[in-house]
Chain A
Amino acid sequence: MNLAQVLNGLALGALLMILSSGLALIYGLRGVMNFSHGALYMLGAYLAYEVTSQGLSFWLALILAPLGLAIVGAALELGFFRRLQRRSHIEVGLVTFGIALVIDRLIVIVWGDNTLPVRAPKAVDGTTNVFGTDYPTYRLLMIVVAIAMAAALVLWLRNSRVGLHIRAASHDTETSGILGINVDRVSLVVVMLGGALAGLAGTLAAPYFSVSPGMGQSILITVLIVVVVGGIGSVGGAMAAALLLGLVQIMGNVWLPSVAVLVPYALLIVVLLWRPTGLAGKRV
């Protein structure tokens, strides 16, 4: 296994990290596994395509797509999560499953079902020499953005007032409500942030994988696995599990190519049976 393969694992892990931290945040606060997260990611990728195909810069897409998805997140929170917060979490999860189907189809109606290319910006389109290995610069950028995002998110959660409220509300919604935290507002922030992160992941993925219908569903299962393996609702656990899965997946591709597709499932089954609360347990 050479350095390029390790970096490939990290690039995949980076993408999963951005997606799963948003999913874990939403789960922590609303107790709902958001099955529409894959669809949000796909919408982000299509928005990035739309922005770049208008002749605008990819860097602009990197800002606009997350913003657009934050708005979608707000709509989800106000239209569904807040109204249904007294319902069982499984029911709300099923509603998000339905939302995912609707978004998936609407995307195809708007943009068609062909695979669409998104070009990486010129500045990062070439390769960079990493310790003697030529590696696509764009993938390095993905890794850097993901790590920067993760660090910023963790610092924000740890040190800001809103972050404190998010952690408190994730730990015990009712008590933090009694103590004066506006849980609805915190939840709005979290779901918008989760949507924005999905949009960011979609935009980053667009030049890497191209943009096609079905991209959301195929990554959704992996991201769900990451979140469950990391410890449902734990952002740190999700990030660690994302990197782990990215690396394990690439290692599997190299060493056991015939059964590599089974790696995520095997990981999930082993972790859940051995430690049902996930690697990180119940910590936020």
Chain B
Amino acid sequence: MSSVPTAVSTDDPAVVPDLDDDAGGMLDGRVSVGLERRVVLRGAIVAAVVLVLGLFVPNIITDSYDMGVAADGVVLGIMAIGIGFLAHRSGLISLGHTAFYGGSAYGLAIATTHWGWSPTSAALFAVVGGTLLAVAIGALVIRITGFGFLMLTLAFGQALYAVSTLTSVRSVTGAFDGISVTYAGENTKFLGMTQAQLGAPHTFWPLAWISLVVVAFGLWLVGRSRFGVTLEAIRDNEERARFSGYNTYLPRLGGFAISGACASIAGVLFALKASYVSPDVLGFQLAGDSLIATIVGGFTILVGPAIGAVLYIYAQGKFGDTGNLELYMGLALIVTVIFLPGGVTGWVVEQFRRLRTLVAGRKGASRS
């Protein structure tokens, strides 16, 4: 899945001097934005190939537990690439995406269990609801940057957590007990899958994988579009963008909403798979861990956070029982931020690029 085109990586200023070196370097290092038909087509083909290849994963991983790890990792990964998108394009670090993740998970659970909606309409409702929540919260917090933004998103997320645990709403959210998702109506299938099939990793996988690839491809398109470039201009110098005649508020709000929509999709998928929603989906731990997964994976590469999320879920399965998970998470975060600012994927891409310049340099030398 790392072969999804990452035009993003070319904005590293370190590659700019390479432009003059030779023709090869120039082609590779060109800052490529915009949605020319040829590029979009190429991206779409790569995405389609990745999509199809990924569908065979259940044939390779036969063990149900491992498959569960992969599926959970992909679901969390959808939220993580949303957080990474916001961090990369707008430079905003959010500790509050659990609000949209958990909000939409609760939305699905409440709509199916309490209102008797079919899972399909409940899922649509939850994604739209989570996104609207992101628009509403974003409208309030998006003006504030840096620590203020981080604190406000954390506060909104934790406020929602506190709401979900109130005894006065126990009949709706189940407070600390959570809610089991039950499909009551006539149509109890989601895209042709029964609740048991949704709960089994092997049958759930295609849904999660297709969602991830579609979301990643969508974010790739958005990032390359005029809108994505505007976002980066605002990130780099908000004042200058404003003086150049851009409205800086709406694009940032749009970016936040898109990022929140990713978290909402992930939340719905989580609720569909787990069939059980508890306040943990809104908790501080998930907020912190999803952010750490995003950073360790590396958000300068579009799919980096998803890889971080899979690594996290794997580590959770391995160390969660001993209780040392948080210890390793903390160490991973410290090491990543200090030594690998681009995260794991950023580091890999950088090594790859260095190798390529080395090879290209040798070729150039032998030619002259």
Residue numbers in A under 8 Å from B15 (CB-CB): none
CA distance A224 to B332 in the complex (A): 24
**Shortest 6 CB-CB distances between A and B: which pairs?**
A101-B330, A98-B333, A265-B159, A105-B327, A98-B334, A102-B330
In contact, A95 and B150 (Cβ under 8 angstroms): no
Residue numbers in A under 8 Å from B324 (CB-CB): 105
CA distance A102 to B329 in the complex (A): 8
Min CB gap B235→A, angstroms: 13
A273 within 8 A of B: yes
14 A-B pairs (CB sep. < 8 Å): A91-B337, A94-B93, A97-B288, A98-B332, A98-B333, A99-B330, A100-B330, A225-B155, A228-B147, A258-B167, A261-B162, A268-B151, A269-B155, A276-B148
CA distance A72 to B166 in the complex (A): 38
CA distance A44 to B196 in the complex (A): 49
Min CB gap B152→A, angstroms: 6
Number of chain B residues whose Cβ lies closer than 8 Å to a Cβ of chain A = 38
* Dominant secondary structure of chain A at its interface with chain B: helix
A171 within 8 A of B: no
Min CB gap B329→A, angstroms: 6
Min CB gap A204→B, angstroms: 24
Could you list which residues of chain B lie within 8 angstroms of chain A, going by C-beta atoms? 93, 140, 143-144, 146-148, 150-152, 154-156, 158-159, 162-163, 165-168, 284, 288, 292, 295, 323-324, 326-327, 329-334, 337-338, 341
A108 within 8 A of B: yes
CA distance A243 to B143 in the complex (A): 28
CA distance A105 to B330 in the complex (A): 9
> A90-B146, A269-B155 in contact; A217/B284 too (CB < 8 A)?
yes
Min CB gap B282→A, angstroms: 12
CA distance A258 to B165 in the complex (A): 10
CB < 8 Å: which of A89, A105, A106 contacts B146? A89
Residue numbers in B under 8 Å from A266 (CB-CB): 159
- Which parts of A71-112 form the interface with B (CB within 8 Å)? 84, 89-91, 93-95, 97-102, 104-106, 108
Closest B residue to A272 by beta carbon equals B152
In contact, A94 and B144 (Cβ under 8 angstroms): no
Could you list which residues of chain A lie within 8 angstroms of chain B, going by C-beta atoms? 33, 84, 89-91, 93-95, 97-102, 104-106, 108, 113, 217, 221, 224-225, 228, 232, 258-259, 261-262, 265-266, 268-269, 272-273, 276
Task: Name the residue among B148, B155, B166 with the largest chain A CB count within 10 angstroms.
Answer: B155
Closest B residue to A102 by beta carbon equals B330
Min CB gap B196→A, angstroms: 36
Closest A residue to B289 by beta carbon equals A101
CA distance A90 to B168 in the complex (A): 37
In contact, A101 and B327 (Cβ under 8 angstroms): yes
> A105-B323, A259-B166, A276-B144 in contact; A98/B330 too (CB < 8 A)?
yes
In contact, B151 and A258 (Cβ under 8 angstroms): no
In contact, A102 and B159 (Cβ under 8 angstroms): no
CA distance A221 to B156 in the complex (A): 12
Residue numbers in B under 8 Å from A268 (CB-CB): 151-152, 155
CB < 8 Å: which of A93, A98, A265, A276 contacts B331? A98
In contact, B327 and A228 (Cβ under 8 angstroms): no
Residue numbers in B under 8 Å from A102 (CB-CB): 327, 330-331, 334
Residue numbers in A under 8 Å from B151 (CB-CB): 33, 224-225, 228, 268, 272
In contact, A84 and B330 (Cβ under 8 angstroms): no
CA distance A33 to B146 in the complex (A): 11
Min CB gap A75→B, angstroms: 13
> A101-B329, A258-B168 in contact; A95/B158 too (CB < 8 A)?
no
Closest A residue to B285 by beta carbon equals A217
Closest A residue to B147 by beta carbon equals A33
In contact, B163 and A99 (Cβ under 8 angstroms): no
Closest B residue to A278 by beta carbon equals B148
In contact, B333 and A95 (Cβ under 8 angstroms): yes
Residue numbers in B under 8 Å from A89 (CB-CB): 146-147
> A105-B327, A225-B155, A265-B162 in contact; A94/B147 too (CB < 8 A)?
no
Closest A residue to B325 by beta carbon equals A105
Closest A residue to B324 by beta carbon equals A105
In contact, A269 and B327 (Cβ under 8 angstroms): no
In contact, B148 and A108 (Cβ under 8 angstroms): no
CA distance A272 to B140 in the complex (A): 10
Residue numbers in B under 8 Å from A106 (CB-CB): 327
Closest B residue to A31 by beta carbon equals B147
> A258-B168, A268-B151 in contact; A94/B333 too (CB < 8 A)?
yes
